[in-house]
């Protein structure tokens, strides 16, 4: 059975408050004369059992643990043959235990200028996510999962997709574990995917999805992340999305990853009240898979995004703990988290206000050619620093 | 195949096997939503029948949604 790692601090480095000042049972003695008297005394009074010669003058004497005292050292130093006697100081590797040791691999945070702000925090906000579930036991999500509804299915996140999305939104910061989440908020998860695939793919249980959307509307969540979609629109779904809008929930959805397979319009991204998110790569260019269209709202990092995975493998996923995944699924939670940051600062804002602000503050990337909107990028690349500086 | 349909305000329709999606919902629009599962090669053409019914506001196959 795999043991979940509780921390990413190197295991050879004890926490600072637990480190030794001196090595126990060890004394360094410098001699003027090569005599045995001091060592006879240490053998008699402190159980000295080993004397190592470092050079002609220095000796390391190993005595009983706990036998070393200031009085013992003063007595040894009182010998005319001894220049000094001192405890062996402890020395440790100068490896810093970083707050979130993998954050330097999160290129997306630099792209959205997350590091250019004081650690953004939406601690009082709950973000709803409808996905494949979440590993509540992941050390980087400790305390981040406010609720988890997996009606009719196991609690395991078999695919890992929901845990990955959750980490992008809400992985804990400064916890000596893994990665950084964008918003520091809490997550309410609705598992809407079954435990088994159909014809090799995981499809949403449609009835379960509609009930989850209604539950989100009644939950008090301010933002809903939907890293999923399909090409058919649904009047039943639209009823629920209208209801979410009336309930003050900002809905953020993925544009889809089929650009090179017909670039279809996908839903829920294309519904009227939904903010659709496309993906950019490390170059700030559109990720090749990312769908385009008139309904795109803005873009966010979606290629090779490092985030959390369940600590246990499953029959559909060998990776555990952390991995880099790609998709508009990964771009969407960046924007969801940004919406949560706005909700924390402006609880009175409507979903329309939030979406307008996210788009207005998006950065124009080079491939937009100076335009304020393109079907590749929408209004541009999510810009956290501009977003928080302007509100 | 699953079919979702919505009854018009005040309408009734007996569709064998149909389940109300939100049985406890007070919102009349959501309370009027139903789902029924039929064979993929449904000989009764349930979807067509529902679409033709004056009691039904809309009927549609359940939309496929997958991970992105």
pLDDT digit string, tens, across residues A106-150: 999 999 999 999 888 898 999 999 999 999 999 999 999 999 999
Tell me if B35 and A332 make a contact (CB, 8 A cut-off). Answer: no
Q: How confident is the model at residue A4 (pLDDT cuts 50, 70, 90)?
A: very low
List all residues 6 or more positions away from A112 whose beta carbon is below 8 Å from its beta carbon.
Answer: A182, A300, A301, A334, A338, A381, A382, A383, A384
| Interchain CB contacts (distance < 8 Å): A and B | 85
B2 touches chain A (CB under 8 A): yes
What is the ipTM, given to two decimal places?
A: 0.94
Kind and range of the H or E element at B31? Answer: helix B28-31
State mean pLDDT over A317-333. 96
Of A61-70, A172-181, A192-201, A346-355, the least confident: A172-181
Q: How confident is the model at residue A202 (pLDDT cuts 50, 70, 90)?
A: very high
How far is residue A60's CA from residue A66's CA, in Å, rounded to a whole number? 16
Smallest Cβ distance to B21: which of A131, A202, A210?
A210
Q: In A, which residues are within 8 Å of B9 by CB distance? A: none
B30 touches chain A (CB under 8 A): yes
pTM comes to 0.83
How far is residue A85's CA from residue A158's CA, in Å, rounded to a whole number? 61
Q: Measured between CA atoms, how close is A327 to chain B, in angstroms?
A: 6
């Amino acid at each position: 059975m795999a043991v979940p790692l509780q921390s990413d601090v190197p295991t050879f480095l004890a926490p600072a408050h637990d480190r030794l000042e001196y090595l126990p049972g060890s004394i360094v003695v410098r001699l003027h004369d090569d005599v045995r008297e001091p060592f006879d005394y240490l053998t008699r009074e402190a159980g000295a059992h080993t004397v190592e010669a470092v050079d002609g003058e220095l000796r390391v004497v190993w005595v009983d643990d706990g036998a070393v005292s200031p009085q013992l050292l003063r007595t040894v130093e009182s010998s005319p043959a001894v220049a000094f006697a001192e405890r062996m100081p402890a020395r440790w590797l100068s490896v810093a235990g970083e707050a979130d040791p993998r954050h330097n691999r999160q290129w997306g945070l630099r792209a959205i200028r997350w590091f250019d702000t004081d650690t953004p925090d939406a601690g009082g906000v709950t973000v709803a996510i409808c996905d494949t579930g979440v590993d509540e036991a992941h050390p980087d999500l400790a305390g981040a999962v406010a609720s988890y509804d997996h009606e009719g299915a196991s609690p395991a996140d078999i695919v890992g997709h929901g845990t990955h999305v959750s980490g992008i939104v809400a992985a804990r910061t400064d916890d000596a574990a893994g990665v950084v989440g964008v918003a520091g908020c809490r997550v309410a998860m609705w598992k809407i995917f079954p435990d088994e695939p159909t014809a090799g793919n995981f499809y949403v249980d449609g009835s379960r999805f509609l009930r989850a959307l209604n539950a989100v509307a009644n939950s008090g969540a301010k933002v809903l992340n939907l890293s999923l979609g399909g090409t058919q629109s649904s009047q039943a779904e639209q009823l629920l999305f209208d209801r979410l809008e009336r309930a003050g929930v900002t809905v953020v959805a993925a544009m889809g990853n089929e650009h090179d397979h017909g670039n279809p319009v996908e839903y829920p991204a294309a519904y009227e009240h939904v903010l659709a998110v496309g993906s950019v790569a490390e170059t700030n260019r559109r990720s090749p898979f990312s769908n385009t269209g008139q309904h795109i709202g803005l873009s966010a990092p979606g290629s090779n995004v490092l985030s959390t995975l369940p600590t246990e493998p499953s029959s559909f996923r060998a990776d555990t703990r952390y991995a880099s995944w790609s998709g508009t699924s990964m771009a969407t939670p960046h924007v969801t988290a940004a919406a949560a940051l706005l909700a924390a600062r402006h609880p009175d804002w409507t979903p329309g206000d939030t979406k307008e602000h996210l788009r207005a503050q998006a950065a124009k990337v080079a491939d937009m050619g100076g335009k304020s909107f393109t079907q590749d990028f929408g209004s541009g690349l999510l810009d956290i620093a501009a977003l928080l500086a302007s509100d | 195949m699953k079919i979702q349909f919505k009854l018009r305000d005040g309408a009734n329709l007996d569709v064998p096997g149909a389940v109300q999606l939100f049985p406890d919902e007070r919102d009349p629009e959501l309370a009027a939503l139903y789902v029924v599962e039929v064979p993929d090669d449904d000989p009764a053409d349930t979807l067509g029948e529902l679409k033709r019914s004056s009691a039904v506001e809309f009927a549609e196959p359940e939309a496929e949604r997958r991970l992105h």
